Structure 1
Amino acid sequence: MSGYVARVRRGDLPGRGTGYEALAESAALRWAAVDPLLPAPPRLRRAGDTLLTVSDEAGRTVAAGTMRYSWYQPGEVGRTWGMPDQHWLTPVIGGPDPEGALDSLLTSWKDQLEAQPGGTGAESSALLTWPSRDVCGIAPLQRHGLQPYSVLSVRPRGRGVPPSLPPRDVAFRMADRQDLTPAVGLLMEQHRFEERFGGVFVQQETAGQTRSVLSAALNRRPSWIWVAERRGRMVGLVWVTPPQRARWTGPLVSASSAAHIGYGIVTEGERGRGIGTALVEQAHQALDTCGAETVLLDHSLMNPLSTPFWARMGYRPLWTTWEARPATAMR
């Protein structure tokens, strides 16, 4: 965009008393207006990150973003959850023209990606998260070749679940260590289904890694994993991280106490019978009782089952992850 000047900076990131303070305040005001559940903008203080900034004609900082690079080696858990070569941008956009400022920041980011030593390969992606209700960012993100592929959705405390009458021969209970093997089977069924939408890549190690993480969760008391059984066969589960174990959600939402749902699964032959609704209702009742102000969960936008189901359960988008795959597909 004309009138904007982009700069690249490495080393210490800006702190108080700099142009970034005014930028953060401007971004915070816009975020508060579009969505009261958004947190304050990030401070962008990760030492060693590459900082991109955009200034207007008056020299005021109107956009900033830190670049972060992640590479997952074969066998690492991260290989299951996206491309192995990931280039992330954390943007903060302010000023009177946030669309133009973001457009200029994305142009600078694209230039930096193209200048990476050795370039970016076919198994790479350029990613950023953007507030779902901050619609001023959609046009520049699309112009630069980024596409929305997943959302972090939120449910405020007390939001209702529609009435449901699951089959009479389905029993619901909290999972324990004896449920490890059938629960792993359900999780792997979900992973293979999610592969269709490009957000999960099942690796040779995925089943073993899933079993290890689930085993640790089932050893806790309570496990916060509810299962549904029909005639002794597990047909669904919902896996919750309660607020006291989900402190990592702090930078994602303005609520002081947030929980997270990692999985909500009903096996293919049992869907559409109210089992998933009943499982989620049990989780919500427990979370509302323990004082969770909000519940967060991630799901693929391409999954035709997830978006309508979680909307019925009271969830709506908070953050959207945008991606260009490979990273050089950015325009």
Structure 2
Amino acid sequence: MSGYVARVRHDDPPDGTAEFDLLVRSAAKRWAEVDPLLPAPSPPKLSSYPLLTVSDEGGLPVATGTMRYSWYQPGEVGRTWGVPDQHWLTPLVGGPDPEGALDSLLTSWRDQLEELPSGTGAESSALLTWPARDVCGVRPLQRHGLQPFTVFAARRRRRGVPPSLPPRDVTIRLADTSDLAAVVGLLMEEHRYEENFGGVFVQPETAEQTRRVVGRALSRPPSWIWLAERRGRPVGLVWVSPPERARWVGPLVQSSPAAYIGYGIVAEEERGRGIGTALVSQAHHAMDAHNVSVCLLNYAMMNPVSGPFWSRMGYRPLWVTWEIRPALALR
């Protein structure tokens, strides 16, 4: 957009974060108005990542974006959860024209990606996360070819459908170490289903990596993994990380303490019978007893099952991750 100047910083600015104060206050005001669950934005920090800045004609910053690159080699856990080369932008946009400022920031990001010597081939992506209710960002994100990919949803305490009991021949209980194979089997079924939406890529190592993670979770009583069984056969689960195991989600939401649901699974042939609702009811009851203020989770935007289900359970979008593949398809 005309009138904006972009540049990249690799060192801390002489004035520290003072020059970004107006930008942070402007973004904070807009976030508070559109969504009370959004946290207060933080001033940009360089640390080990370059900072892309966009300034107005007076030299005042109106947008920043921290650029981060993640590369997952074969065999690494992260290779299951996306393409190998991932280019992330963490944007902070303010000023009187946030749409124009974001548009300029994205154009400059595209220019930076073009200059990279590698990591932007067929198995690459450009990604950023934007507040779901901050609709001023939608049009520039679309203009640059990005598409909404995953939803980070939140539920305040006691929201959603009333508590529900499982079907008569289904029991729900906390899983323990004897349930390792059952939990891993359900998770692998979920991973294979999620492959349909392009966010999961099951690798030869995925089953063993999943087994190790589940083994650690089951060895810490209570496991916070509720298992549904129909006449002794595992048919679903919900896996919660309570606040002391989900500290990473704290900065993403204004309310606390916050918990996180990593998985909510019902076997395909058992869906639509109330098992998922009963599982989540158990988890919500435990979180209420644990004084959890807000619970968060992720689901794929294109998953036809997840969005409607979690909405009925009281969850609504808080953040949306936008993505384009390959990275240089960014316009």
Q: CA deviation at 1:229?
A: 0.3
Q: Tell me the equivalent position of 2:105.
A: 105
Q: Is the deviation greater in 10-19 or in 319-328?
A: 10-19
Q: Tell me the equivalent position of 1:37.
A: 37
Seen in structure 2, the aligned counterparts of structure 1 residues 42 and 84 have a Cα distance that, compared at 3 Å, is farther
Aligned partners of 2:129 and 2:320 also within 8 Å: yes
Paired with 1:17 and 1:73, the residues of 2 have a C-alpha distance of: 35
Aligned partners of 1:154 and 1:294 also within 8 Å: yes
Aligned partners of 1:50 and 1:67 also within 8 Å: yes
Paired with 2:318 and 2:187, the residues of 1 have a C-alpha distance of: 25
Q: Structure 1 residue 25 and structure 2 residue 25: aligned?
A: yes
Paired with 1:14 and 1:312, the residues of 2 have a C-alpha distance of: 50
Aligned partners of 1:13 and 1:47 also within 8 Å: no
Q: CA deviation at 1:167?
A: 2.0
Q: Tell me the equivalent position of 1:186.
A: 186
Q: CA deviation at 1:161?
A: 2.2
Matched residue count: 331
Q: Tell me the equivalent position of 2:326.
A: 326
Aligned partners of 1:224 and 1:240 also within 8 Å: yes
What do the CA deviations read for 1:18-50 (whole angstroms, capped 9, x no partner)? Answer: 221111111011000000000111332241211
Q: CA deviation at 1:330?
A: 0.3
Paired with 2:235 and 2:77, the residues of 1 have a C-alpha distance of: 26
Seen in structure 2, the aligned counterparts of structure 1 residues 17 and 312 have a Cα distance that, compared at 3 Å, is closer
Q: CA deviation at 1:250?
A: 1.6
Aligned partners of 2:175 and 2:218 also within 8 Å: yes
Seen in structure 2, the aligned counterparts of structure 1 residues 51 and 34 have a Cα distance that, compared at 3 Å, is same
Q: Tell me the equivalent position of 1:137.
A: 137
Q: CA deviation at 1:14?
A: 7.4
Q: Tell me the equivalent position of 2:314.
A: 314
Report the identity percentage. 71
Q: Tell me the equivalent position of 1:241.
A: 241
Moved over 3 A (4+): 13-17, 162-166
Q: Match of 2:182, SS? A: helix
Seen in structure 2, the aligned counterparts of structure 1 residues 16 and 26 have a Cα distance that, compared at 3 Å, is farther
| AA matched with 2:238 | V
Q: Tell me the equivalent position of 2:125.
A: 125
Aligned partners of 2:147 and 2:323 also within 8 Å: yes
What do the CA deviations read for 1:201-221 (whole angstroms, capped 9, x no partner)? Answer: 000000000000000000011
Q: Tell me the equivalent position of 1:225.
A: 225
| AA matched with 2:8 | V
Aligned partners of 2:150 and 2:298 also within 8 Å: yes
Q: Match of 1:251, SS? A: helix
Q: How does the TM-score come out when normalised to structure 2?
A: 0.98
Aligned partners of 1:14 and 1:45 also within 8 Å: no
Q: Match of 1:311, SS? A: helix
Aligned partners of 2:160 and 2:315 also within 8 Å: no
Q: CA deviation at 1:12?
A: 2.2
Aligned partners of 1:177 and 1:218 also within 8 Å: yes
What do the CA deviations read for 1:96-129 (whole angstroms, capped 9, x no partner)? Answer: 0000000000000000001001361100000000
What do the CA deviations read for 1:208-261 (whole angstroms, capped 9, x no partner)? Answer: 000000000000110000010001100000000001111111211011210000
Q: Tell me the equivalent position of 1:251.
A: 251
Paired with 1:163 and 1:258, the residues of 2 have a C-alpha distance of: 20
Q: CA deviation at 1:160?
A: 3.4
User: Superposition RMSD on alpha carbons, in Å?
Assistant: 1.2
Paired with 2:249 and 2:15, the residues of 1 have a C-alpha distance of: 23
| AA matched with 1:264 | G
| AA matched with 1:193 | Y
| AA matched with 1:43 | P
Q: CA deviation at 1:84?
A: 0.8
For structure 2, the 5+ residue unaligned runs are none
Paired with 1:163 and 1:246, the residues of 2 have a C-alpha distance of: 24
Seen in structure 2, the aligned counterparts of structure 1 residues 219 and 14 have a Cα distance that, compared at 3 Å, is farther
Seen in structure 2, the aligned counterparts of structure 1 residues 13 and 80 have a Cα distance that, compared at 3 Å, is farther
| AA matched with 1:34 | V
Paired with 1:64 and 1:109, the residues of 2 have a C-alpha distance of: 10
Q: Tell me the equivalent position of 1:174.
A: 174
What do the CA deviations read for 1:239-296 (whole angstroms, capped 9, x no partner)? Answer: 0000111111121101121000000000011000000000000000110111111000
Aligned partners of 2:17 and 2:44 also within 8 Å: no
What do the CA deviations read for 1:158-211 (whole angstroms, capped 9, x no partner)? Answer: 113245453210001000001000110000000000000000000000000000
Q: Tell me the equivalent position of 1:146.
A: 146
Q: Tell me the equivalent position of 1:71.
A: 71
Q: Is the deviation greater in 159-168 or in 244-253?
A: 159-168
Q: Match of 1:101, SS? A: helix
Q: Match of 2:130, SS? A: strand
Paired with 2:137 and 2:264, the residues of 1 have a C-alpha distance of: 30
Q: How does the TM-score come out when normalised to structure 1?
A: 0.98
Q: Tell me the equivalent position of 1:299.
A: 299
Q: Match of 2:159, SS? A: coil
Q: Tell me the equivalent position of 1:82.
A: 82
